[in-house]
Structure 1
């Protein structure tokens, strides 16, 4: 077990950093429980998502100048309260992004809170992520801000930008800790930035220590989604968690980062879950875009990473390669999209396709020319009816009519709130045909879903770091400017992408069995704006040649079938992890904020691909399914 030392920079010391939150609604017990552990040096957490950025950004941009500043995540305060005394007692540090769009306002609340608990904890905060003014100036001067997922220029977006937030790095956090802060409140720093900043402070690394910084970046990537690396969202859950009754209280993750950057991923000893090579591989593959992982402080190369199971629930990470950061960082631009609503019908038994088509034609006929007022209007059936179903529920599917419009009145969100039979509206047009509808016609009776709710559009692009006013505000009243990195490297916009060299023929491994890919292949997928990433990997070294030979870009398109959008798909490999990674560019209908699909976060793309039938070598299948 690693122990705390007393002098920063000693090569014998290991920093133990615990992830206590992967999102606003993560389990609240983490900070209180981990603050009790005196071997933990730093607690960090992630409270921000692309969805929360748009809501908080709109909240800040739309309020009056004299309005109260509350565009932050107050749930952090609730989590902090029961942990404060132990944080002070054990001399732990805390770094979080819960400040969202008002980090100063949250810091002031926390400063008062630590006084109320009679501690001397010192609270500083970091600003600069709000780049709205700089962004709008650059826009006026002709900058096109091409979309990272689609390469489309922002002048084709069709909506008015409201605000822009940049992803900051960890240098401001490191400087805050060096100057004596105990708690550092940030806004939109990159998810892994608190780990990078804490490790810089703890090990006294400089901005040019790219190998060490890259390791910290990878550690942050693995830790920032909390229990995603300790058994959550894990494709091996059935045998490794459910059958062992080890899944109701997955431990929060802990990273042990050494002075040379190498680290171990582990977890709380007294909680459930599991940390093994597979859970770490799955999280490593989550929400990445290619072999290079960019950050404001460093660039990490992923395709040479190696994982070793040192002991139960302890995985060592090596092979990370670091290089200078790009001169740019990512920004997220928020715009008001309009209003969205939906209506559902339940279809049972025979003739599902024809019933759905009848509803669609009748609804469009009712809308008439008003249909031009909808930017999005989709009719999608979810589910299918088996032959000779055993019960009515299994014979029933859901038809979802989903609409987005900038006309509030048509979405029952303008001068007239609610659906009325005598007022033109999306909800009225969807249900007025019920009495001339399909056999068994049954709408969902909760019409609240058919009343428009505001939604936001979100645009992701690159922004020059030297135009960001990155500042640290210390507990004792100083404001310290954090300069942009000077040692940077310009990388190609398109990352390396390739099908496997020298694929082996399918008969190499003898007889095969037609079965779902996921019976022997683990995986994980997720979103970055409208991009969807998909990582797939096998358990055994001798299965690697089969996986890499099977999963070409062409084969993935074949498996996607009707889900193939016809857009660019990138591919690379991590041989030491037996993993193939795909990036499905612009696959997710504008991303989580405005998507018209159920899978707004891209997490189910992997599960869809894993259920598709492929020819699996019998020698591998006979080892047992996942």
Structure 2
């Protein structure tokens, strides 16, 4: 007789970035029944941001908000026996674990604290990241010979000025699961993959084996859906215009109820604000993907047949993930001293804006040339922000900005850059304005270069470390690499198959794309991803057939307009079960993350820009205004 399946594990996320207050953890612990709290405090560059200060003893190495959340929540965690798995340990998971152990012991709480190590590969980085026989470094996208890297992406290794300051591998859930099996109540991690805390908790709860790949893939998707804090309950949601301002305030974080078979229900505490709908879940599912295969150190999840279905108020059922063995490699985020960066912003008002900015750029470039400074500049961009309102009703409506950004290896070059600005300042175009505190932007700022590398999982010593009553590690186990791995296949990439001629949908009207389409975008290193799906009002088979026929790779290039560069590369796939078309644009964020000179360096605004582009939409789709709710 088979044992009955265990009830779903109820996992509540409390953070999607280091900015999320410790109050979020406390709220998740107190607002309703949960089994596990997870938190993702580490954006891509968080670790490196404080690496040198931590090395000098000037920073604790862990996220202060994670520490704050644990301090505020320890009493209720102890009382309710809630498990906690967070990556807020940053560079120093051991340090945060020791602090929390000390606090819990002093308060008499019966809590076993543990930490995960093994992600820090800085001591071995030059043995891992080294040129192959053709002189290429192991870049995350190096297997795709169609992808070109931005200038200066891979020139850091032999440069003494570009010291590597952090190198952290993305770990999976094996150490987390083992720690929970050994009785740990709180597990502090460093750089684990975003969904790994959720996966480890689900695997422990249900007793899955390491080769239960379909179940692990389902937990990976659940973790992906809740790891970005309030993104799962209405934040960063393209359909926010369907809601009143009051409905958007003070959002709570999401919860995943993960079943024994790996499906999940995304929900939230009833007492908290927010909304969990099919649209919200679809948009979050499409966030920061690399295509139809979602990678983790423990499983590859095929999203092709993932489906979402509203089953009740603020309850969305997610199913259909298919799992396969993980790759033998994992991502390794390498950060190094990139040099110095400077910025300056000027404003132009109203008439002949293009000519004004052309003049300002020529003026500055001419001066830098005459002084012989251009040879020392790695990057110099003049980014035009906004378009003045036609026939403006106020001065602000008529004003746009020119963002000047420079990167160089020499601090002195930044000073010369600003001297060139001031040298010709009184010869400016008519009506120039800038902040009266412009001197503050004249300060050279060091920036970190970023290189997403690959490392063999066999080179990682991932371990779980249990702290005993006396504050010393009483048990430490290296979990080792996955027993089964599978080499990555080339990514799927195709234009629509058996698509309909657009003329067959009848006459069209040119409107903003966002009137009928939702979208979500984000960064994947130097690349930006974007997924498009219909608003609920238009979510039917015919609109889907039009959308997939309309959104070809060439169409995306057309939508990108002047921002498209011929050296970019595009991949496209479809998710028919959620009626979504997904793209990755390789190279669109320059070198990515902390290296990027883009104003929107994380790619979050990419979707909203393309939703604002006017496109021809079949008239027969436009009978209902999706925003009529407000």
TM exceeding 0.5? yes
Structure 2 equivalent of residue 207 of structure 1: 210
Does residue 443 of structure 1 match 2:440? no
Q: 2:17 aligns with which of 23, 27, 32?
A: 23
Structure 2 equivalent of residue 236 of structure 1: 239
Closer, same or farther: CA 25–163 of 1 in aligned 2, 3 Å? closer
Q: Deviations over 1:240-297 (max 9, x none)?
A: x226x31102221001011111110001111121111110000000000011111001
Shift, 1:575, TM fit: 0.3
Does residue 498 of structure 1 match 2:494? yes
Separation in 2, partners of 1:10, 1:43: 25
TM alignment of 1:229-308, pairs within 5 A: 229-239=232-242, 241-242=243-244, 245-308=246-309
Q: Retained in 1: the 8 A contact 2:21–2:65? A: no
Separation in 2, partners of 1:345, 1:507: 46
Separation in 2, partners of 1:407, 1:10: 66
Structure 1 equivalent of residue 144 of structure 2: none
Structure 2 equivalent of residue 220 of structure 1: 223
Does residue 461 of structure 1 match 2:457? no
Closer, same or farther: CA 366–155 of 1 in aligned 2, 3 Å? closer
TM alignment of 1:147-186, pairs within 5 A: 147-149=139-141, 150=147, 152=149, 155-157=154-156, 159-186=162-189
Separation in 1, partners of 2:21, 2:626: 31
Structure 1 equivalent of residue 420 of structure 2: 429
Separation in 1, partners of 2:6, 2:37: 21
Q: 1:487 aligns with which of 484, 488, 491?
A: 484
Structure 2 equivalent of residue 5 of structure 1: none
Q: Deviations over 1:539-580 (max 9, x none)?
A: 312210000000000011111110112211000000010100
Q: Retained in 2: the 8 A contact 1:517–1:612? A: yes
Structure 1 equivalent of residue 471 of structure 2: none
Separation in 2, partners of 1:170, 1:76: 19
Q: 1:532 aligns with which of 521, 528, 532?
A: 528
Structure 1 equivalent of residue 540 of structure 2: 541
Does residue 512 of structure 1 match 2:508? yes
Q: Retained in 1: the 8 A contact 2:265–2:315? A: yes
Q: Retained in 1: the 8 A contact 2:21–2:69? A: no
Q: Retained in 2: the 8 A contact 1:181–1:475? A: no
Shift, 1:69, TM fit: 6.7
Closer, same or farther: CA 151–200 of 1 in aligned 2, 3 Å? farther
Separation in 1, partners of 2:503, 2:128: 57
TM alignment of 1:315-464, pairs within 5 A: 315-367=316-368, 368-412=371-415, 425-446=416-437, 447-464=439-456
SS at match of 1:124: strand
Structure 2 equivalent of residue 79 of structure 1: 69
Closer, same or farther: CA 516–154 of 1 in aligned 2, 3 Å? closer
Closer, same or farther: CA 151–161 of 1 in aligned 2, 3 Å? farther
Separation in 2, partners of 1:536, 1:141: 38
Q: Retained in 2: the 8 A contact 1:145–1:462? A: no
Closer, same or farther: CA 406–154 of 1 in aligned 2, 3 Å? closer
Closer, same or farther: CA 352–151 of 1 in aligned 2, 3 Å? closer
Q: Retained in 1: the 8 A contact 2:153–2:591? A: no
Separation in 2, partners of 1:458, 1:428: 29
Q: Retained in 1: the 8 A contact 2:116–2:188? A: yes
SS at match of 2:594: coil
Separation in 1, partners of 2:441, 2:588: 26
Closer, same or farther: CA 410–608 of 1 in aligned 2, 3 Å? same
Separation in 2, partners of 1:589, 1:154: 9
Closer, same or farther: CA 295–151 of 1 in aligned 2, 3 Å? farther
Shift, 1:593, TM fit: 0.4
Structure 2 equivalent of residue 103 of structure 1: 93
Separation in 2, partners of 1:436, 1:530: 38
Separation in 1, partners of 2:154, 2:386: 38
Structure 2 equivalent of residue 51 of structure 1: 45
Separation in 2, partners of 1:12, 1:217: 19
Shift, 1:148, TM fit: 2.6
Shift, 1:160, TM fit: 4.4
Structure 2 equivalent of residue 129 of structure 1: 119
Shift, 1:37, TM fit: 4.6
SS at match of 1:175: helix
Shift, 1:141, TM fit: 7.5
Structure 2 equivalent of residue 554 of structure 1: 554
SS at match of 2:26: helix
Shift, 1:314, TM fit: 0.4
Q: What value does the CA root-mean-square deviation take over the aligned residues?
A: 1.8
Which deviates more from structure 2 when the two are superposed, residues 305-314 or residues 469-478? 469-478
Which deviates more from structure 2 when the two are superposed, residues 378-387 or residues 481-490? 378-387
Q: Normalization by structure 1: what TM-score?
A: 0.93
Separation in 2, partners of 1:29, 1:78: 8
Shift, 1:529, TM fit: 0.9
Closer, same or farther: CA 339–613 of 1 in aligned 2, 3 Å? same
Q: Retained in 2: the 8 A contact 1:69–1:105? A: no
Separation in 1, partners of 2:5, 2:517: 39
Structure 2 equivalent of residue 576 of structure 1: 577
Separation in 2, partners of 1:612, 1:104: 49
SS at match of 1:485: coil
Structure 2 equivalent of residue 599 of structure 1: 600
Separation in 2, partners of 1:249, 1:195: 24
Which deviates more from structure 2 when the two are superposed, residues 469-478 or residues 299-308? 469-478
Q: Retained in 1: the 8 A contact 2:23–2:72? A: no
Which deviates more from structure 2 when the two are superposed, residues 523-532 or residues 68-77? 68-77
Q: Retained in 1: the 8 A contact 2:463–2:478? A: yes
Which deviates more from structure 2 when the two are superposed, residues 280-289 or residues 26-35? 26-35
Q: Retained in 2: the 8 A contact 1:525–1:603? A: yes
Separation in 2, partners of 1:316, 1:24: 29
Does residue 42 of structure 1 match 2:33? no
Q: 1:474 aligns with which of 463, 466, 471?
A: 466
